Structure formats: structure tokens, C-alpha cells
Amino acid sequence: MRVWQEDQLQTLLGISHEQEYFQTLVGLARELGFEFCAYGLRLPFPCSQSRIVMFNNYPAAWQERYRQQNYLAIDPTVQHGIRSVLPVIWSDNLFVPAREFWEDARSFGLRFGWAQSSRDANGVGGMLTLARSNEPLSDAELRDKGLQLAWLSQVAHLGMSQRLMAKLLPESQARLSKRELAVLCWTAEGKTAAEIALILKIAERTVHFHIGNAITKLKVSNKTAAVARAVMLGMLS
């Protein structure tokens, strides 16, 4: 398996565009015995309605059906992926809460599948789903391919998120200075500008200057939002 991973990794490293990267994932999924491949990326904000971007090679009619029926809101595999990074196998029991959705999916040839989610330090979540229209996943197949599937889910998230984040969330590329981070950190602790000035031994107007810079870099409207975004992006620990 190590040789397989090294070969595939070398291929993926040379790809710069997310669409080409995803098509390579589709090819790797086929090598593992799956005709369908899907990857979804979930941004950590806006908090009120997280943004989700999806790529897949499902039948076009199913993609339209999924969108029209807003199946994303009830898809049990998505709900599992939000709660856990453990892999999940499609089964009748999994889809009990969404029986109509399950029957609909099966009518489009999506009958057997596997999915696993990932999360990174920036709070970005991703989920890789592999599916096929015939032949259930046996215990023997899962034992033989389990490590490859887990590896592929991680590589999918790492590669796709790297290629998408600069476009979808440009503020994730922001680089805050050590002083800006320190000011935000103390702000997160509930300290006022005057208190932060005493702690850092700088003028209060300098504290406001650093907060203003952080707000601009993070593309938010106030210091509270700047703190929240910095935390979500893993800038404050």
C-alpha cells in the first residue's frame, strides 16, 4: 500500500487547480472499486449559515434532485460527518431518519457507499464520499482497503482545502503580527484597551491601532468579530 500511496501523492502534488484535483480523486476512487466520488467542504463561518461547497460525479439528474429537495439539510451522512470523523458505511439503519431521501438516492444508482470527514486547524471541515451502484461493501473489502480509504479522505481534504481556501476565504491567508495577535488574545480574555495597554506597556491608541489593523486584515466589522474569526482560523491558541 505504501507504494500506491507514494505514487498517488506524487501525482496529486503536481496539480494546482481544484477541478483537476477532484477529477484525480475520482480516478483513485475507481481504482478502489467505486464509480462515484464526492467531496464537500464546510467553511467555519458565517456562523449563522456555514458555507458548503460540493464536488461530485453523481448523475446530473440526482445532483439537481438533491439541490431542489434541499437534501443537504437532512442527509444522514452529512450529519454524521459534522459530529464525527469516524468513517460511516451506508446502511438502511443509517438512513432511517430520511427514508424518502434514501429511496430517492437508490433510484439513481447510489446504493452502497462509504464516507469519512476531516477537520483541520483552521476549523474547515471536509467529507469524502465513495459510492457505487452494485456490490455491497464486505467486511473483507473494508479490511483490505480501510487504510487506503482513510488515507484518501485525508489527502482529499488537505488538497482540496488548500486549493479552495484562498478563493473562498481570502482572509484565511491573512498574516497578523505578533502584536496584533497579542492584542486580540487579551481582547478575547475580556480586557479593555486601557488594560491591554498596561499589560503590553504600550499606549492605548497603539492598542486601537493594532485592533484596527486586525479588523482590516480579517475583513470583519468590529473587534468582537475579529477575535471570533481569529479563533476559528486557528490564529489564537
Domain of residue 41, CATH code: 3.30.450.80
What pLDDT tens digit does each residue of the chain (237 aa) get? 565 666 677 778 778 899 999 999 999 999 999 999 999 998 876 666 677 899 999 999 999 999 999 999 999 999 999 999 999 999 999 999 999 999 999 999 999 999 999 988 767 899 999 999 999 999 999 999 999 999 999 999 999 988 888 777 777 778 899 999 999 999 999 999 999 999 999 999 999 999 999 999 998 899 998 998 888 778 886
Q: 165 and 195, same structural domain?
A: no
Integer Cα distance of 74 and 78 in angstroms: 8
Q: Domain boundary at 139, 170, 201, which? A: 170
Q: 25 and 102, same structural domain?
A: yes
Q: 191 and 165, same structural domain?
A: no
Q: Give the position of cell 482497503.
A: 145
> Would you say residue 37 lies in a domain?
yes
Q: 118 and 196, same structural domain?
A: no
Integer Cα distance of 47 and 163 in angstroms: 22
> Would you say residue 13 lies in a domain?
yes
Integer Cα distance of 18 and 190 in angstroms: 40
> Would you say residue 237 lies in a domain?
no
Q: 199 and 108, same structural domain?
A: no
- When divided into structural domains, the chain yields a total of 2
Q: 192 and 152, same structural domain?
A: no
Q: 184 and 155, same structural domain?
A: no
Q: Domain boundary at 170, 194, 222, which? A: 170
Instruction: Give the pLDDT of residue 132.
Output: 97
> Would you say residue 24 lies in a domain?
yes
Q: 181 and 157, same structural domain?
A: no
Q: 126 and 61, same structural domain?
A: yes
**Which residues touch 113 (CB under 8 Å, ≥6 apart)?**
34, 36, 77, 89, 90, 129, 130, 131, 132, 137
> Would you say residue 104 lies in a domain?
yes
- Domain CATH number, residue 224: 1.10.10.10
> Would you say residue 115 lies in a domain?
yes
Q: 186 and 166, same structural domain?
A: no
Instruction: Give the pLDDT of residue 128.
Output: 98
Domain that holds residue 45: 2-170
| SS3 of the chain | CHHHHHHHHHHHHCCCCHHHHHHHHHHHHHHCCCCEEEEEEECCCCCCCCCEEEEECCCHHHHHHHHHCCHHHCCHHHHHHHHCCCCEECCCCCCHHHHHHHHHHHHCCCCEEEEEEEECCCCCEEEEEEEECCCCCCHHHHHHHHHHHHHHHHHHHHHHHHHHHHHHCHHHHCCCCHHHHHHHHHHHCCCCHHHHHHHHCCCHHHHHHHHHHHHHHHCCCCHHHHHHHHHHCCCCC
Instruction: Give the pLDDT of residue 46.
Output: 64
**Which residues touch 152 (CB under 8 Å, ≥6 apart)?**
25, 28, 29, 32, 128
Instruction: Give the pLDDT of residue 12.
Output: 80
